[in-house]
A and B are shown apart, each in its own frame.
Chain A
Amino acid sequence: MRTLLVQIVLILATVAIVVRFLSGVGQRSQAVRRVALLGFGVLAVASILFPETWTMAAQLIGVGRGTDLILYMLVVAFFSFMATTFKRSRDADIRYTKLARRIALDEADTPEAHRARRDAALPSGEKNREEPGDASGEASGPAA
């Protein structure tokens, strides 16, 4: 009886996760992942209902216990998840960097504007250079 309760809870959780991931708008690239997920859900429910199939499968390939086989598969799945997540976050980093760089470059003085400001500050002489330099430095801060 207790086994049945656990089976119901696990099946409901699995179905909920599958439905959660299958819903939403997507493109063809997502379709493959969704079909795989559906298959995974069916497998998960099947293995909850018939746990002994894993032990049979494990013995077939010489692992021994079904739990060991699932653990090994989990390790592989976890590492592949880490690898794809890492790659995706790297791609996101590159896009984010390009965006931030574009903003930085757009907001900076152009070399011509910078030179003009610098040359305008110069003629008053080397001695006074620091003060106009200060002023232009502060003025350009909020303006930029």
Chain B
Amino acid sequence: MNDDVWLVIPLYNEEQVIEGVVRNARLTFPNVCCIDDGSSDGSALAAERGGAVVVRHPVNLGQGAALQTGFEYVLTDPSMRYAVTYDADGQHQVSDVVAMLDRLRRGDLDLVLGSRFLEGTIEAGALKRVILRLATAFTNWTTKTKLTDAHNGLRVLSRPVVEALDIRQNRMAHASEIVGLIGGMQIDGRPVRYAEMPVHILYTDYSRAKGQSVWNSVNILAELLWR
């Protein structure tokens, strides 16, 4: 069961939590690929202890580059039918992936995106909420997609979508870039079919401490404008 699913986890200095995250995910999804993005701590070994296969970037390239490396790795497995983009810091929940995957397995969609705003399940602060909304509005406007949450890291993609993706934004703007690529994507000569499903993000003290500051939205905007 779920042998045709690969979890793709970009990994950068998450030594404290990654083993537990991988171990927990592997109870449901046996195939986990962590892309160690030049961590300076023991993240890669911790991920291997958890049972993940680890692809090591020789230098730090950024999260977007790590995702693309993960996609290219899982494509080398001919039995892979679905790839899941998943966070290393433990803020995503396996139950959400299961629900999204069940939806995708019905076969009438090409990918399912997680959204923090569909059920009002977000626990983030007011400022972060406003910025996420603005970022989503901007992304919808520039990419001609209609999403409620364009910067969610939890996505379930079918193999044809993984094959079609080519992320070039190495740093932070890759989330918007993925949405942009999806907005213009054709699969078998028809526009890609996608849907959003509610996900529940756990904002723990750990993830809050590691998470992006709202200042980073300025960097994301700049990267998008000068790509």
Contact B45–A141 (Cβ < 8 Å): yes
Assess A107 versus B53: contact at CB under 8 Å? Given A93-B170, A101-B72: no
Q: CA of A14 to CA of B72 in the docked complex: distance in angstroms?
A: 50
Q: CA of A101 to CA of B59 in the docked complex: distance in angstroms?
A: 10
Q: Which of A94, A97, A105 contacts B55 (CB 8 A)?
A: A105
> Which B36-64 residues have a C-beta within 8 angstroms of A?
44-45, 48-51, 53-59, 61
Determine chain B's interface SS by DSSP, over half rule: mixed
**CB of A4, distance to nearest CB on chain B (Å):** 46
**CB of B55, distance to nearest CB on chain A (Å):** 4
**CB of B40, distance to nearest CB on chain A (Å):** 15
Contact B55–A103 (Cβ < 8 Å): no
Q: In this assembly, does B76 line the interface, its C-beta being within 8 Å of a C-beta of chain A? A: yes
Q: CA of A59 to CA of B184 in the docked complex: distance in angstroms?
A: 52
Which residues of A sit under 8 angstroms from B72, Cβ to Cβ? 101, 105
Q: Which B positions have Cβ atoms within 8 angstroms of A?
A: 30-31, 35, 44-45, 48-51, 53-59, 61, 65, 68-69, 72-74, 76-77, 80, 168, 170, 226
Assess A108 versus B58: contact at CB under 8 Å? Given A101-B65, A118-B51, A137-B45: no
Assess A101 versus B56: contact at CB under 8 Å? Given A133-B49, A137-B48: no
Q: In this assembly, does A40 line the interface, its C-beta being within 8 Å of a C-beta of chain B? A: no
Contact A100–B53 (Cβ < 8 Å): no
Contact B73–A100 (Cβ < 8 Å): no
**CB of A26, distance to nearest CB on chain B (Å):** 29
> Which A35-94 residues have a C-beta within 8 angstroms of B?
86, 93-94
